[in-house]
Chain A
Amino acid sequence: MSASAPAAAPRPVGIEDVVLDVQNLTVKYGNVVALGDISFSIPRGSVTGLIGPNGAGKTTLIDALTNYTRASSGSVTFEGESTHSVRAHRLARRGLIRTFQSVELFNDLTVEENLAVAAQPPSLLAALGSVFAGRAETRHEDVEWALSVTELQDVADRYPTELSHGQRKLVGVGRSLARRPSLLLLDEPAAGLDTAETLALGQRLRTLPDHGVTVLLIDHDMGLVLGTCDHVMVLDFGNLIASGTPAEIRADARVVEAYLGSSQQTEGEAGDE
């Protein structure tokens, strides 16, 4: 819909330019506040980063945005419509797609089939009809595109279990892309990748806004997030403690304390590092 959206840094934000708007989102598990009163919005065509130490609530945020977890209070508006009590697969069909930290591929399907199952139209009756249709299927253009973005063409016929960890991570991203998301939520795509793979991933993610895909990148690889994103938010203990350009984040005292400082305190006792 907005394939021509510029990939540039944040523009002035108008209502129609906001893909996702989050107001006062709170998630509680029992008495534990996993996410406390979070508000932010994601401009269309941006690559937004979210960082935070382990246990900061990053995955909980993705779960809550995609309705994998029920939010205790607050509102989420995606493409101008509330996501309240919309089932997860419906949100996915509307273009809000997530990946999983633990990849979660369909191991019974080849790489291409993993992507194809995301790209195909959702109607089961149409799919049943296609069983009777005589001709063979051709590769869907969205699958072709997702394979080319992730450079997985060479392994399209392999099964996920035959691939390296880094490749499997990419298949997870490719599967999400094959659905042609308007907003892609990436849950730690770089975890477990080596430096070169992380760098290549960052470059690929940078190109997505050119194809109409807005990205929310969640990771704790500071290098990846600060090097890739237009705008970065910092989460700690369920609260948003900072937000700004990568340069501002690098300079922010609270971030240094929460992210670097705290690790100095706790790990400092252990002696090294």
Chain B
Amino acid sequence: MSSYILFLLLGLGSGAVYAVLGLGLVLKYRSAGVVDFGHGAVAMFCAYVYIELRSSGELQFPWIIIPHQVRIASAGGLGTVPCILITLVYSAVLGLLFYMAVYRPLRTAPALARVGASIGVLLALQTIALLNYSTFAVSSPPILPDTTFHFAGLFVPSAQLYLAGLTVVLGLVLAAVYRFTRFGVVTRAAVENERGAALLGHSASRIAAYNWVLATVLAAAAGILILPITTLNPGTYTLFIVPALGAALLGRFSSFGAVVFGGLAIGAIQSETVKLQTVWTWLPQTGLQDGLPFIIIMLTIIVLARRLSARGAITDVHNPMVGRPSRPAASAGGAVVVGIIALLVLSAQYRAAVDSSLITACICFSVVIITGYTGQISLAQNGMAGVSAFMLTHIAAGLGIGFPFGLILAALCAVVLGVAVGLPAVRVRGVNLAVATLAVATALDALLFNNTSFSGGYTGRNVKAPHLLGLNLGPVGTGQDTQRLAFGIMVVLIVAAIGLFVARLRLGRLGRTFLAVRSNERAAASVGIDVARTKLFAFGIAAFIAGIGGGLLAYQQQNVNAATFTTWTSLTILAITYVGGVGRITGALAAGALLASNGLVPTLLNNLFNFGQYQNLIAGVLLTITAVANPDGMTKEMGAGFTKLRRAAMRRAGIGGGGDGGASPAAPSAPEPSAPSPAAAGRPKVAGR
């Protein structure tokens, strides 16, 4: 019995970190309206700042190529406490810079732009850490008193308990501050009604900046204090965001107490499953700890859905623009011709790059459907591609079904998953859906792709080359025959067909229905559209397309393994589609050609400048810039003339502005333009206090 309790207590350490990160997420969300997916990455980076300072005396900066460290003391010359203090000040500055440069301009942006920006920060920081520091886990000397408590027959390490205690105190202090102090009251007022608070002379963005800095400092503190009892590497720390989101969701992004409890509980239960796995051997032996937050997030969403409303910010009208393909059949035919000519002309290496670009574009098409057309933010699309890729090998091995029916069956398996992923979308929208799909992505990664019996472990699973009517369509023949033309042509044809499908879908009844749901769910229901079913349908179609892409990827690589389909790859897929233009065929194609790893342009740049390692960094930075400056994506500029006209018209009508004056006659989804005034009128006493 006592060992069960021991494991529970041991989990309080990581639980405390989840809780503190969760508190930071709440502060950021409540003040700036951003669910910061990069919060864990910031904690990770600050932990590196601390540990490098402690060991080498060098201060770290988040960039590459130009020297990223400056010596401020001799190696090991600074003690623990000065290092912590310097790092906390550093984190405050970092938080302020991020807020001013990225999140402040996004205050009035749509949910997708905010999610995109924070994922951009995540990818950038993670890649910088991978480039600047080794991926080997780093550990640190103890910070908190490192003894053991003798307690009810148990010997419990003290650090975990101290951390948990500090977290509880922190939660209480925050709760008291936000309830009783003027700062807290003003923060809450600005959340309730930004314009009202502004009328009373409170700058909502200044309040948000304070909160943002506080949250960043807390993240840094948590990242440092957990160091001695965990190991630091760029991936795991960044993924703390998932359980932290679980904790924040449990507290409905508002109750500090519930967040602290939720974080500690997730940590404790995770630790307990380690014990339970030894007792109940039927439990999955890998990934259960990482899959657990997924279960908690899903349960929270199911139970609390109606109360997980989006924050009362100035609402968005401006969804990313959706293209209107003209003459899709002709375009697809032209694309096939161009693609085949390219394959004929190019060398083997660039043929492979064309294949990679097109396959990535195919997976990006699924984002165009679900996020572009239907407006549902899914961070799990590459996970669906992964399920299909692995199922392709199982179907071939187990059922003996090969190309093309095996590919279709595998994609249909992804559809089943996709519809399941879509279920939360029936109950929550916007950023809460992004959280749910991120949880799905991590759970797939942890429970399925790292499950040896499903995925073949480190060696992965081999894929049989596709054959049709006796023709070998695989990428590799015998001897020197690699990057075969036949495979390339097959990819060109399949991806062109899917592109044509996506374009025609946009122009027809189904596309109209999707766009209607994206535009306005209330209005869609009022004309007889079943909003819930439409979303699930869109998730299913998107999953099928992602599944075909995943299958093609499996054929191309001839071996599928978990590394191809990690959580990060799903984030990257959304990121590059968003940068390319999330509502357009050309956006997905641009994402594949310009931004996909092993894509056409990266291969070229890699040959010229050894560019490949910066792939995710470029994607991350571009993503953040796109979200802040150009939410329609880069292919917008290439759009037809009417697009520009329409945009100009929208600007004339005051749609793009969002924040300025509700008096604009064309603010269609601001149902209560007069809402700020009664609230403002009701609070003059607060201002005079």
Contact = CB atoms under 8 A, between A and B. Distances in A.
B515 A161 contact: no
A171 B529 CA distance: 18
Interface in B533-590: 533-534, 537, 541
Given A89-B530, A128-B541, A162-B649, A100 B523 contact: yes
Interface in A105-156: 105-109, 113, 116-118, 120, 122, 124, 126-128, 130-132, 137
Most chain A CB within a 10 A radius of its CB, from B317, B501, B524, B533: B524
A179 B501 contact: no
A168 interface: yes
Nearest to A93: B528
B519 interface: yes
Contacts of B525: 87-89, 92
Interface string A53-79: 000000000000010100000000000
Most chain A CB within a 10 A radius of its CB, from B501, B534, B668: B668
A197 to B, nearest CB: 13
Contacts of B524: 89, 106, 117
A122 B530 contact: yes
B92 to A, nearest CB: 41
Contact of B516 (A66, A106, A131, A160): A106
B512 A100 contact: no
Given A130-B508, A159-B649, A160-B668, A104 B522 contact: yes
Contacts of A190: none
19 contacts: A68-B522, A89-B524, A89-B530, A92-B525, A97-B526, A98-B526, A100-B526, A101-B671, A104-B523, A104-B669, A118-B527, A122-B529, A122-B530, A124-B534, A128-B537, A161-B668, A165-B665, A176-B527, A179-B528
B175 interface: no
B533 A124 contact: yes
Enumerate the 5 nearest inter-chain pairs by beta-carbon distance, A residue then B residue, closest first.
A118-B527, A106-B519, A92-B528, A127-B510, A127-B509
A175 interface: yes
Contact of A108 (B319, B508, B529, B671): B319
B666 interface: yes
A131 B670 CA distance: 34
B508 A97 contact: no
A178 B92 CA distance: 57
B515 A108 contact: yes
A179 B523 CA distance: 13
B47 interface: no
A90 B502 CA distance: 28
Contacts of A179: 527-528
B379 to A, nearest CB: 23
Given A92-B528, A161-B666, 16 more contacts: A102-B668, A104-B522, A107-B519, A109-B512, A109-B519, A118-B527, A124-B510, A128-B537, A128-B541, A132-B501, A161-B646, A161-B655, A162-B649, A162-B650, A178-B527, A179-B528
A93 B534 CA distance: 15
Contacts of B526: 66, 88-89, 92, 97-100, 104, 176
A137 B508 contact: yes
B361 interface: no
Contacts of A192: 665
Contacts, number: 135
B538 to A, nearest CB: 9
A56 B646 CA distance: 39
Interface of A: 66, 68, 87-89, 92-93, 97-109, 113, 116-118, 120, 122, 124, 126-128, 130-132, 137, 159-162, 164-165, 168, 175-176, 178-179, 192
A176 B523 CA distance: 10
Given A124-B510, A131-B504, A161-B653, A105 B541 contact: no
B527 A92 contact: yes
B322 interface: yes
A120 B512 contact: yes
Interface string B314-339: 00010100100000000000000000
Contacts of A107: 317, 519-520, 655, 668
Contacts of B655: 107, 161
B56 to A, nearest CB: 54
A130 B286 CA distance: 45
Contacts of A162: 646, 649-650, 653
B503 to A, nearest CB: 10
Contacts of A103: 668
Nearest to B667: A102
Nearest to A166: B665
A131 B514 CA distance: 13
A66 B526 CA distance: 8
Contacts of B541: 128
A130 to B, nearest CB: 5
Most chain B CB within a 10 A radius of its CB, from A116, A127, A159, A175: A127
A76 to B, nearest CB: 16
Contacts of A120: 509, 512-513
A102 B653 contact: no
A257 B512 CA distance: 48
B527 A175 contact: yes
Contacts of A108: 319, 322, 515, 518-519
A117 B518 CA distance: 13
Interface in B467-521: 501, 504-505, 508-510, 512-513, 515-516, 518-520
Nearest to A158: B649
Contact of A100 (B319, B515, B522): B522
A201 to B, nearest CB: 17
B531 interface: yes
Interface string B656-677: 0000000001101111000000
B513 A117 contact: yes
Contacts of B515: 106, 108-109, 113
B112 to A, nearest CB: 14
Given A128-B541, A130-B509, A131-B505, A168 B527 contact: no
Nearest to A123: B509
A165 B666 CA distance: 7
Interface in B294-346: 317, 319, 322
A186 to B, nearest CB: 12
A104 B672 CA distance: 12
B668 A104 contact: yes
B529 A89 contact: yes
B527 A109 contact: no
Contacts of B508: 127, 130-131, 137
Contacts of A93: 528
Nearest to B583: A108
A116 B511 CA distance: 12
A90 B211 CA distance: 45
A103 B649 CA distance: 19
Contacts of A122: 528-530
Nearest to B317: A107
B523 A105 contact: yes
A102 B523 CA distance: 10
Given A100-B523, A106-B519, A127-B510, A89 B322 contact: no
A160 B508 CA distance: 19
Nearest to A140: B509
A163 to B, nearest CB: 9
A159 B318 CA distance: 14
A108 B668 CA distance: 12
Given A68-B522, A106-B520, A127-B513, A89 B653 contact: no
Contacts of B670: 102
A159 B530 contact: no
Given A89-B531, A100-B522, A105 B668 contact: yes
A124 B513 contact: yes
Most chain B CB within a 10 A radius of its CB, from A87, A107, A127, A179: A107
A97 B527 contact: yes
A192 to B, nearest CB: 8
B456 to A, nearest CB: 35
Contacts of B501: 131-132
